[in-house]
Structure 1
């Protein structure tokens, strides 16, 4: 077998290999570098091949992590039927492999070892849930074990051979080989090496081998955004792959042999800022009963050192903690005010106690520069109503136990985010009637899974730009036409007439008098750098002094770019009355969305947020079918942008992440009672509830995979308009 070479592999390795295999000068005339390289790679592969086993499974779920049973396999993952790979790590029958190979919970596992023609029955012994590895045991002895390449000696640019067992029946034949280099170290929060050698489900669990035949690590799919057995599978053909250092695997092998499930060690803190990479390592939230809470850390502490390593930002914090396991102890140094404090022997926990959003029970008036927060709406039977807070009252101070001034809406939201349900708070009010100042007491409760039947208007004080320069006017306004056909299968059953009739053109012209000329209607935008299009609908009564919510529509498979007008007609009345903008990114593949498009979508979303006055507390991902799966994925993996996820007929593609105090997510899930995926959709709802997310679920009668019926649509609109509830 002649291995293939990547250009980068030639660039970094040719000279070294030539020197390694050069003949004495007297005998050397025309050295063939390629031939020497080929021999070296064959020798390295042959050295480790006896330890590379074939793994076959039977039974189990066809689809992993709740993916669709039909249609595009991403973000859900359809389990393949071919063999995969494992690596012997102990002479007495222990084999390590990627957890991805067993994510569908197979009923039977078989291992074939080179030199031993009979398939052996294997059983799962334990899992490493942070590095996504599974340890198997077969009844065999005196097995060959590979030599680990020391982590301290791994250098970027070294050759890397990715080995796997394919459909070749005879395992005594050489394994498949892909060639590249080690392109980075200390990736995936410090847990993996990176390579440009081809990695795929065929060689997940196989070795990444050095040119001398020692093993760098075990190949796994991995992602720094997602978690779980399938994290990173969607980008396996993206030009990079990952391997867990074999040295790390062998270090925890004794614990795995004992059947101990290894979980990631969690400190239990979230950053103060929304940026989970570059934010300063200031504690913005602490999970209840977490390692941080038990140690005595408080919100506002700045972590400056862990185990003697300086922590300049939150990304470094994740890199230092990423490789650690439940039960590992760390030493912390934090600054609190003008003091530095040391915390020794902080034992990391493996399961974070689910954060529960605390709820006062009010909706604020938006675009009110303050001081204080005017109450727009009070939820019935909420702590606010019980305390006597009324619409029109202004919250001037808030605190537990001491009162502190409330300058604006965001300050009040932040103050409540760090509190737990059951906390008793004081609220200083300036009453609407008479301006009298009173202080009331309320006990916070968990955020309810309900929405108001009707919300009052207006919702905005119209002062979003107060104190900020106004954007320049744009020329040639492009108002949307009114293409509302008599028949349209897409709007809610019963039409939108019961929500509000569409204004006629004369009314629209009157409303736009004396307002800045800003381009409105349905427009197409192009990402010049990527050549991808998206559409955006801006209501004709758009006013930059009024903040607008943003609905990001993820279209179903094969509908990319075709449903802009339908969505505009569906949301026009609501968008004008309640101040929302709607946009629709377009999937790169006609068969549907893939998770790797997340960063591109977020770039488009941020472009719209930069162009218009957007309320960051009311940005929602909305999708149907495959688009709904993408909405779930994007909501969890761009939590600095999204505050809500609304889906129809869609299941979670990956296990849900934890609820985070300063990046709250709310969910609106709907399904038809005749949808073939109804059971899986309900399971997705339950998984979110287990994580203590607010989830509103609606099941539509006599419905399959249609869009919202009128009742559900009305609830959905009220949910959108109350995303900024406090």
Structure 2
């Protein structure tokens, strides 16, 4: 799929570009024994960059489900549960990147710290600190941590929208617990998506720089030591590196982190269109003069797209001056840019390209497992609707079922404060500071309260 670049040749070629010009003497080869001539190396850049990459160790507990055979259900009561659930402790490790030395902000992957009750960060100089999780976005796999420490080193951010296939890339992290491991390669592809099922937002950088377990949350940097991505996934049959790794672009990460810092959460942006990728069949059928982009099949009423004047049949080919390759790429960029932000879309209509400015709305169709909001709500699925927060599913014999939640219930308030969406519910539950929360439930024509601790 990609032409592999050996680690040695990558390092040599990269260093040739970075090394200062030296006087050339006739008859001397490039690698001279002359002590006055420096050997080409990435070491000077890495000496500045590696202190900003940290080792993360976590501990916590996760719910494990085990199916109960029908023959044994009699031992759990007259009917018995279809599965058993228990909390099991876990430990894990990963990597992180310091992006703000003054405030102690560290970015990592959500899957590195998910469900962790204890997060420890170890710096390159050996100092260890307890970290606080400020917020996370599971759908884009980004989490923001904070430590209280002095003399930190941060990585400057590069503009990941300016990356090109073939640019050099260096991965820094802690694969298999081997701290401060550095590997090199190139950018193999951009705008990768469709790697995971579900509602994940993907716009990955693909690289052949070796990435393995434990590299998650680490840095992908350019030859200037600037952060271009957060390493997050690999494609490998046995969980090992085969030269296909993926990183979240630095621009996408920054958009998400800015929202977490400002609001304590990610406020997903919404354009309000449905569509699909531009492909050869669509290009031929509609006589389009582009082969890549996001085809708009439907514009939803009262959406940001409708207010901006987008029409069905439009092809979105760029966003804020950067080319759009697919509908999934557009979806990821819109969602992570955030609600209330303005974007300029390059739109192909009737054979002519025009720019349309749109102010993004907040996504209202998001769905979450209620255990993300509170452990006692385990087994319930909540969804934003026009009527409020609807309980769309309640698993039998779950914590939510034992509390009395039912499918179709609407959560309309917490401790007598009105809530209309999941973001408001999450914020109020986090603010209760360990006390009791009274959920105000509307069930048909009846209003009732359910207490959670």
Task: Give the alignment's TM-score, normalised by structure 1.
Answer: 0.38
In the TM superposition, what is the alpha-carbon distance from 1:191 to its structure 2 partner? 4.0
1:409-558 alignment runs, 5 A limit? none
The 2-side partners of 1:182 and 1:340 are apart by 29
1:243 is aligned to 2:243: no
Q: Tell me the residue number matched to 1:216.
A: 228
In the TM superposition, what is the alpha-carbon distance from 1:86 to its structure 2 partner? 0.9
Secondary structure of residue in 2 paired with 1:81: strand
Q: Tell me the residue number matched to 1:633.
A: none
Q: Tell me the residue number matched to 2:269.
A: 265
The 2-side partners of 1:339 and 1:156 are apart by 28
In the TM superposition, what is the alpha-carbon distance from 1:207 to its structure 2 partner? 0.8
Task: Give the alignment's TM-score, normalised by structure 2.
Answer: 0.57
1:205 is aligned to 2:217: yes
Coordinate RMSD, CA, aligned: 5.3
Q: Are the equivalent residues in 1 in contact too, given 2:161–2:251 (CA < 8 A)?
A: no
Q: Tell me the residue number matched to 1:646.
A: none
1:341-360 alignment runs, 5 A limit? 344-352=357-365
Q: Tell me the residue number matched to 1:125.
A: 134
Q: Are the equivalent residues in 2 in contact too, given 1:45–1:174 (CA < 8 A)?
A: no
Q: Tell me the residue number matched to 1:595.
A: none
The 2-side partners of 1:10 and 1:45 are apart by 16
In the TM superposition, what is the alpha-carbon distance from 1:139 to its structure 2 partner? 1.9
In the TM superposition, what is the alpha-carbon distance from 1:137 to its structure 2 partner? 1.1
- Which is strand-richer, 1 or 2? 2
Secondary structure of residue in 1 paired with 2:269: coil
Q: Are the equivalent residues in 2 in contact too, given 1:17–1:37 (CA < 8 A)?
A: no
Q: Tell me the residue number matched to 2:189.
A: 184
Q: Tell me the residue number matched to 1:325.
A: 338
The 2-side partners of 1:335 and 1:241 are apart by 33
Secondary structure of residue in 2 paired with 1:262: coil
Secondary structure of residue in 2 paired with 1:110: strand
Q: Tell me the residue number matched to 2:24.
A: 25
Secondary structure of residue in 2 paired with 1:107: strand
Q: Tell me the residue number matched to 1:95.
A: 106
Kindly provide the CA deviation profile for residues 615-663 of structure 1, in whole angstroms up to 9, marking residues without a partner as x: xxxxxxxxxxxxxxxxxxxxxxxxxxxxxxxxxxxxx9xx9999xxxxx
Q: Are the equivalent residues in 1 in contact too, given 2:204–2:249 (CA < 8 A)?
A: yes
Secondary structure of residue in 2 paired with 1:50: helix
The 2-side partners of 1:133 and 1:83 are apart by 15
Which of 137, 144, 149 aligns to 2:146? It is: 137
Unaligned regions of 5+ residues in structure 1, if any? 70-77, 224-231, 355-651, 659-668, 691-726
In the TM superposition, what is the alpha-carbon distance from 1:175 to its structure 2 partner? 0.6
Kindly provide the CA deviation profile for residues 180-221 of structure 1, in whole angstroms up to 9, marking residues without a partner as x: 222233444884422111223301111113344333322123
Q: Tell me the residue number matched to 1:419.
A: none
1:194 is aligned to 2:198: no
Secondary structure of residue in 1 paired with 2:365: coil
Q: 1:345 to 1:153 in 2, by over 3 A?
A: closer
The number of residues matched between the two structures is: 339
Unaligned regions of 5+ residues in structure 2, if any? 69-87, 194-200, 284-293, 368-378, 385-392, 410-453
The 2-side partners of 1:51 and 1:233 are apart by 31
The 2-side partners of 1:154 and 1:304 are apart by 20
The 1-side partners of 2:227 and 2:143 are apart by 18
In the TM superposition, what is the alpha-carbon distance from 1:151 to its structure 2 partner? 3.5
Kindly provide the CA deviation profile for residues 659-696 of structure 1, in whole angstroms up to 9, marking residues without a partner as x: xxxxxxxxxx9x9x9xxxx969x9xxx9x999xxxxxx
Q: Are the equivalent residues in 1 in contact too, given 2:56–2:93 (CA < 8 A)?
A: yes
